[in-house]
Structure 1
Amino acid sequence: MIVDAHHHLWAAGAGYTWLDEPGLEPINRTFTPAMVTAELAAAGVARSVLVEGGRCDTAEAAVLLGHAAATPEIAGVVAWADPCDPHLAATLAGYRALPGGERLVGIRSQVQGESADYLDRAEVREGLATIGAAGLAFDLVVRVDQLPSAARVAAALPDVRFVLDHLGKPRITAGAEGLAEWRAAIAPLADCPNATAKVSGLATEADWTAWTVDDLRPYVAGAVELFGPRRLMLGSDWPVCLLAGDYGTVRAALLDALGELPATERAAILGDTATRTYRLSA
């Protein structure tokens, strides 16, 4: 089963205030389930994982799970929750009671907006343990300088499934310096068997108007080397990717960057890892 392991949906004026920043005008509009299913069909992708979009409130979960309930192609939802929520277990149970709640497969918070050592905090780790105990994965949307703390928390909580979004958002525009920084920072996380990573979001970490597949290739190759195909999954990061290229262009570039791989390894990255890690239903 081919899976797009990472995309978003949102409505204009629905609380996604980060979209008001200059330069984000192309994606500051409504994106619907029908729009993404058209992209999936054109690319030959069977299922997808819908990820919270930075609204950072619990009400968004009902919207996203409702989309999943009405859209067979959306096999899983990664909803937002605050790991420090004192009622986190009840929040997660509430999500599961919603229409589409059976498709809740993970939780994400906007760690990238926190300090470099945020994931080392005791109250955060307690929340992440609660998420794991609920049978859910935790998506790590982090900066490169947060990767060391991500590795520490993954090692400290071996029973929690951690999914690194966008390969840790490397500084691709920094050239060789950015690549060296990223490799050193991501290697300890890759050593944790409970951590997987998404080959996603790379074009928007490069020069939006001038990037080529060669800019992405060393990061994709490094991820294959460090994580191995069975702990990698491919995601479009649509519609954020539209800042750098349309769905088909970005997906084709990532597939090109993967290079020649045995069929079983390619199948892992294109769907098997996401299906297993998120426990998606076929």
Structure 2
Amino acid sequence: MDAHHHLWDPADPGQDWLAAPEHTAIDRTFTADDLREAAAGGVDGRALGATVVVQSVCTLAESRALLATAAADPLLAGVVGWVDLTGDVVGQLDQLRSGPGGELLVGVRHLVQGEADPSWVLRDDVQRGLRGLAGHGLAFDLLVRQPQRAAGVEGARRAAEHGLVTVLDHAGKPDVRPGAPSGALDAWCDEVRALAGVEGSVCKVSGVVSEVGDAGRDDDAVRRVLDVLLDAFGPQRLAFGSDWPVCLLTSSWRGWADLVAEHAEQLAPAERDALFGETAHRAYRLPTRATSTT
């Protein structure tokens, strides 16, 4: 299973971010059939049998479109969409669930990393919105960088008291570039371990190298990240995700999948089952059409 990928058309509202010069490699339409081609051969010897597609812009229109796409394609087992967490969350969820594919809405994500207020997730109105997600059996995908990580941990802790499952996207975006600021990975490690201590929290092994840019990646730093994730969360709370097509900025679906699979060779078969399918299946309460280990 691929627990984190995107689909988009640059012509759709909100996708103008793709026009930035650094995004030239991904400034085109990406469909589920493109993903099938990119993921041919699967991961860890497992064919790609199910995926979770994740929002990329903060509009209900995109969420409705992804749900309709998923309804027509059995590969897409679940959709992590967007709602305005500061608004009428229940009303927005009702809108999404009443349309085509509405039953495939399994989570909600907001681009917290883009908020000017690093404590945005701790706002009373946002916390109220997160409680609304929990009441509807949905997970919350937490997308943060270093400035928002500490508040993200506390926000997840508060929301967990109401039964919300928080899924950390892209391992909290550790800096794995050569020459990264001294101590950056140490601080990331402390924050990730703190989140791992939150009841029900899950982490996606995705996006770690997607944004390294021209600097490239420090392979020792990447290995340290994967080791820390395995130690902090354990494979039962880790979920493989490709971050395709964003990963194409620095890698390929196959390149990231092979890197994670190689690191997972140390794990027992049941632990690899969790990492490559069962964790995502459980965290998102995926509909029965999804398979748990592919």
Q: TM-score, normalised by structure 1?
A: 0.94
Matches within 5 A, 1:9-88: 9-15=7-13, 16-43=15-42, 44-53=47-56, 55-85=57-87, 87-88=88-89
**Aligned-partner Cα distance in 1 for 2:147–2:108:** 21
Give the structure 2 partner of residue 101 of structure 1. 102
**Aligned-partner Cα distance in 2 for 1:220–1:208:** 22
**Aligned-partner Cα distance in 1 for 2:213–2:25:** 16
Correspondent of 2:254 among 248, 251, 256: 248
**Aligned-partner Cα distance in 1 for 2:263–2:21:** 30
Shift in Å, 1:205 = 3.8
Give the structure 2 partner of residue 89 of structure 1. 90
Q: Extract unaligned runs of 5+ from structure 1.
A: none
Is 1:164 matched up with 2:198?
no
Code of the residue aligned with 2:23 in structure 1: it is L
CA shift in 2, pair 1:70/1:226, >3 Å: same
Shift in Å, 1:147 = 1.7
**Aligned-partner Cα distance in 1 for 2:218–2:188:** 19
Q: Deviations over 1:148-182 (max 9, x none)?
A: 11211222122101100000011112165221121
**Aligned-partner Cα distance in 1 for 2:181–2:217:** 12
Shift in Å, 1:209 = 6.5
Shift in Å, 1:212 = 6.0
**Aligned-partner Cα distance in 1 for 2:6–2:154:** 28
Shift in Å, 1:213 = 4.4
SS of 2:41's partner is helix
User: How many pairs does the alignment contain?
Assistant: 278
Q: Deviations over 1:37-83 (max 9, x none)?
A: 23344322110000001x21111112101110111010000001111
Quote the RMSD (CA, aligned, Å): 1.5
8 Å Cα contact 1:139-1:164 kept in structure 2: yes
Q: Extract unaligned runs of 5+ from structure 2.
A: none
Q: Percent identity?
A: 38
SS of 1:24's partner is helix
Correspondent of 2:227 among 215, 221, 244: 221
- Which aligned segments of 4 or more residues in structure 1 are displaced greater than 4 angstroms? none
CA shift in 2, pair 1:7/1:206, >3 Å: same
Mean Cα deviation higher: 255-264 or 131-140: 255-264
